[in-house]
Amino acid sequence: MKQRNILIIAVVVVIALIGTSWYMLRPNQKENLIVSTTTSLYETGFLDVLKAGFEAKYPNYNVSFISQGTGLAIETAKRGDADMIMVHDPNAELAFLNGSYGVDRKIIAYNFFIIVGPQSDPAGIKGLAPLDALRKIAAAGPNGSALWVSRGDNSGTYSKEKALWKAADLNLTQIKGQRISGTNNPWYIEAGAGMTATLQLSNQKGAYTLSDIASFLKNSKEGNIQLVNLVQGGKEMLNVYSAIAVNPQKVTQAKFETAILFIKFLVSDEGQNLFGTFGAQDYGQAVFKPWITTYKTNSDPTLIQWVKEYAFFNGTECPDLYRYKADDLFS
């Protein structure tokens, strides 16, 4: 009897080990690419589509996405734990390039941020211009008629939020310290979480928040939130996604060739088509607009101008200084 136990246990252990070693071997047969990226791209499920598309075309490659929020994604890349980044924070991206960590930046897609809130819209911001809307919320907050939820992390969304408050001439530090009159509770709430969690928190509290349109549409569709889109459009709300390869000269472990291959895929017709079709069926619109396509066809000159003002550096998406072994990317 006891022999049998030992036998069974041994068999199970051996199977586990064989399974593990087999798994260990498998990824090595393929080329691995690690992309660190934002939660807004990750949580919408779009990256699975990209991965499938790329791996269908290049079966010997395996793409792994690590979603962490723009700030952390950049940190990870600096540490050599990722081979490229896909983020949406031009200031941070410039710093990344300046620090020699990144090369060959390509803008790949864009969409817009929106301000969402409860259907009742207590602060009355519907249809207003973004900065006006913020001013109204800032006025309504202290007397308890409006709440705001912020990402409160180092994401691209939060960077945008901060920039908006600043552009509206509002002091964010002051706002964070304000309390709803008669209570000890702030009206500006910092979630410290990803986009979906932030939306859900806003939903629970009946608060306003800044969201990218893709995350909002997805969560709405799934019935997680009953918030409505109140303020959209305008130059200030532009959201631009870029891909940057990690500089192999500085971070030697980075798989540069593979990263470039992937970036080339992203900007190819095929890749851009994936951007352009994602969400069309589910949400009635493409949630990530293909930049290259728009640019090449010049289908929206105003927008192109906005992107250049917002996300170009010295008149280009990638200054010569930061181009490396990828001339055909920038023709």
Residue 285 Cβ, how far from another protein at the closest point, in Å?
A: 19
Among 31, 49, 58, 66, binds another protein (CB under 8 A): 66
| 132 touches another protein (CB under 8 A) | no
**What SS3 class is residue 286?**
coil
Q: Which stretch binds another protein (CB under 8 A): 9-17, 106-114, 182-190, 265-273?
A: 9-17
User: For residue 218, which amino acid is it?
Assistant: K
**Rounded CA separation 46/40 (Å):** 9
Q: What angle do CA 215, 67, 189 make, to 5 degrees?
A: 55
- Cα dihedral sign, 280-116-160-96: negative
Q: What are phi and psi of 198, to 5 degrees?
A: -65, -45
In this structure, what token pair is assigned to residue 281?
Answer: 């069926």
Question: Measured from the CB atom, is 12 or 95 closer to another protein?
Answer: 12
Q: Fill in the per-residue mask, 192 to 211: x = in contact with another protein (CB under 8 A), - = not in contact.
A: --x-xx-xx-----------
Question: Among residues 105, 149, 172, which one has the least CA distance to residue 329?
Answer: 105
Residue 116 Cβ, how far from another protein at the closest point, in Å?
A: 14
| 96 touches another protein (CB under 8 A) | no
Question: Measured from the CB atom, is 67 or 294 closer to another protein?
Answer: 67
Residue 147 Cβ, how far from another protein at the closest point, in Å?
A: 20
Among 10, 57, 79, 249, binds another protein (CB under 8 A): 79
Residue 195 Cβ, how far from another protein at the closest point, in Å?
A: 9
User: For residue 112, which amino acid is it?
Assistant: F
| 34 touches another protein (CB under 8 A) | yes
| 247 touches another protein (CB under 8 A) | no
| 29 touches another protein (CB under 8 A) | no
Question: Among residues 59, 52, 60, which one has the least CA distance to residue 28?
Answer: 60
Residue 81 Cβ, how far from another protein at the closest point, in Å?
A: 5
What is the DSSP secondary-structure string of 209-241?
EEEEHHHHHHHHHTTS---EEEEE-SGGGEEEE
**Rounded CA separation 84/74 (Å):** 9
| 1 touches another protein (CB under 8 A) | yes
| 9 touches another protein (CB under 8 A) | yes
Among 10, 11, 17, 95, binds another protein (CB under 8 A): 17
Q: Fill in the per-residue mask, 45 to 64: x = in contact with another protein (CB under 8 A), - = not in contact.
A: x--x--x----------x-x
Among 11, 20, 99, 316, binds another protein (CB under 8 A): 20
Pairing assessment for the beta strands 188-190 and 238-246 based on DSSP bridges = unpaired
Residue 224 Cβ, how far from another protein at the closest point, in Å?
A: 4
Question: Among residues 50, 38, 61, which one has the least CA distance to residue 277?
Answer: 50
The answer to whether 106 and 331 have CB atoms below 8 angstroms apart is no
**Rounded CA separation 187/329 (Å):** 47
State the CB neighbour count (10 A cutoff) for residue 95: 13
Contact residues toward another protein (CB under 8 A) are 1-2, 4-5, 8-9, 12-13, 16-17, 19-20, 23-24, 27, 34, 39, 43, 45, 48, 51, 62, 64-66, 78-81, 194, 196-197, 199-200, 218-219, 222, 224, 251, 253
